[in-house]
């Protein structure tokens, strides 16, 4: 018999999009699933839709909790999960009807610990065929190869807005023991950046398919549509740098510092103005100068980043138009 797979869906004020998400899960061709809806204190009727689905389909369960943010909702849902494997789906997104089946089959057939799928950004008004047959071309990665891919994809994302399949929390099938052990940081945004390296490092083998199985909705007000206006992304990369140092993964530090540097400059430029902003900006600038001075290897094969960093240190106000 196929293994039970738990799908955790944090829900907060997404009534306009929620039914599309839940229907895409309910119609999965892989049937042995439990769907844990975590209503994170919704005020727009989303909570009623969650309750409705527990009556429509016995595989759906719902808990209602005080608002604690995305990470807190995920962590609470994971605590309740009883499946051998787990998936995370954001409640304003939706998935292909074969998403669970393809990710599961790829994981079992390859003997991998983590299964990753491709995704596509979509607009609210866009129509997507969720019943097509996805081409399932797979690639297997060792732990270190997958960490290298993660770092390269992230640098491309932050410098050229490419997609980042290895970072996002929601396009993957995880071993449940990994999900229960590695916690998403509560009270932080960009929680996937803070944990992606841990999930990959925890897996001895990773399998990736280029089949588009997840549809990421681009809408106003979603977390990723907000410019980096606080220091959560900085904290996420500092955690990763510390993790690589502590776990003898120093070969990934050069690429990580490159992305971290870009994040520092972006955060400095987009920081919300508060009474503390001058102090925060001063601290960010000191970090940028320290990398420029003490990590020259970051610029050995990246003259563009070196020029950009030097310009930023001299004329930080010009970075927005750079």
Closest residue by Cα to residue 207 from 172, 176, 243, 178: 172
Answer whether residue 272 shows pLDDT above 80: yes
pLDDT tens string 163-218: 889 999 999 999 999 999 999 999 988 899 999 999 999 999 999 999 999 999 99
Tell whether 256 and 190 lie within a shared domain: no
Mean pLDDT across 215-233: 71
Q: What's the pLDDT score for residue 221?
A: 55
Cα 250 from Cα 278, distance rounded (Å):
33
Q: Which two tokens stand for residue 271?
A: 């920081």
Answer whether residue 321 shows pLDDT above 60: no
Are 74 and 7 contacting, i.e. CB atoms less than 8 angstroms apart?
no
- The β-bridge relationship of strands 114-122 and 85-88 is unpaired
Q: Which of 225, 250, 273 is the last residue of a domain?
A: 225
> What are the C-alpha distances in Å from 308 to residues 170, 222, 305, 318?
33, 29, 5, 10
Structural domain count of the chain: 2
Q: Which two tokens stand for residue 188?
A: 């932080």
DSSP 252: G
For residue 203, give the CATH number of its domain.
Answer: 3.90.550.10
Tell whether 191 and 301 lie within a shared domain: no
Tell whether 45 and 169 lie within a shared domain: yes
Tell whether 70 and 161 lie within a shared domain: yes
Residue 103 pLDDT level (bands cut at 50, 70, 90): very high
pLDDT tens string 19-57: 999 999 999 999 999 999 999 999 999 999 999 999 999
Tell whether 215 and 264 lie within a shared domain: no
Task: Compute and round to an integer the Cα radius of gyration of the chain.
Answer: 20
Q: Which of 170, 200, 225 is the last residue of a domain?
A: 225
Cα 131 from Cα 112, distance rounded (Å):
26
Residue 150 pLDDT level (bands cut at 50, 70, 90): very high
Tell whether 160 and 248 lie within a shared domain: no
Cα 24 from Cα 304, distance rounded (Å):
43
Closest residue by Cα to residue 232 from 282, 200, 195: 195
Tell whether 267 and 131 lie within a shared domain: no
Are 199 and 182 contacting, i.e. CB atoms less than 8 angstroms apart?
yes
Mean pLDDT of the chain: 93
Q: Which of 202, 225, 248 is the last residue of a domain?
A: 225
Cα 6 from Cα 32, distance rounded (Å):
9
* Burial class of residue 82 in the structure, from the number of CB atoms within 10 Å of its CB (0-12 exposed, 13-18 middle, 19+ buried): exposed
Answer whether residue 264 shows pLDDT above 80: yes
Tell whether 183 and 251 lie within a shared domain: no
Answer whether residue 286 shows pLDDT above 80: yes
The residue range of the domain holding 119 is: 5-225
Residue 222 pLDDT level (bands cut at 50, 70, 90): low
Tell whether 59 and 196 lie within a shared domain: yes
Tell whether 63 and 163 lie within a shared domain: yes
Tell whether 36 and 145 lie within a shared domain: yes
Q: Which two tokens stand for residue 51?
A: 């309750």
């Amino acid at each position: 018999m196929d293994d039970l797979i738990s799908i955790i869906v944090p829900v907060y004020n997404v009534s306009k999009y929620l039914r599309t998400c839940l229907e895409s899960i309910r119609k999965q061709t892989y049937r042995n699933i439990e769907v844990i809806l975590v209503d994170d204190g919704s005020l727009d009727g989303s909570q009623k839709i969650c309750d409705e689905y527990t009556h429509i389909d016995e595989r759906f369960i719902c808990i209602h909790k005080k608002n604690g943010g995305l990470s807190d909702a995920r962590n609470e849902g994971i605590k309740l999960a009883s499946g051998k494997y787990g998936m995370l789906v954001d409640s304003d997104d939706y998935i292909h009807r074969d998403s669970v089946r393809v990710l599961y089959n790829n994981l079992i057939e390859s003997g991998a610990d983590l299964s990753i799928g491709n995704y596509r950004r979509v607009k609210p008004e866009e129509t997507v065929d969720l019943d097509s047959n996805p081409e399932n071309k797979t690639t297997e990665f060792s732990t270190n190869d997958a960490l290298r891919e993660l770092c390269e994809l992230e640098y491309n994302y932050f410098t050229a807005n490419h997609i980042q399949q290895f970072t996002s929390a929601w396009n993957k099938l995880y071993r449940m023991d990994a999900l229960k052990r590695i916690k998403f940081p509560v009270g932080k945004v960009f929680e996937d950046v803070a944990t992606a390296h841990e999930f990959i490092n925890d897996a001895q083998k990773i399998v990736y398919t280029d089949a588009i199985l997840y549809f990421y909705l681009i809408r106003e007000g979603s977390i990723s549509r907000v410019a980096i206006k606080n220091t959560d992304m900085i904290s996420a990369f500092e955690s990763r740098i510390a993790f690589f140092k502590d776990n003898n993964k120093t070969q990934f530090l050069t690429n990580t510092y490159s992305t971290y540097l870009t994040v520092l400059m972006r955060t400095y430029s987009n920081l919300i103005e508060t009474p503390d902003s001058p102090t925060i900006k001063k601290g960010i600038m000191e970090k940028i100068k320290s990398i420029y001075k003490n990590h020259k290897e970051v610029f050995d094969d990246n003259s563009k980043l070196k020029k950009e960093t030097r310009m930023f240190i001299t004329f930080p106000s010009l970075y927005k138009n750079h």
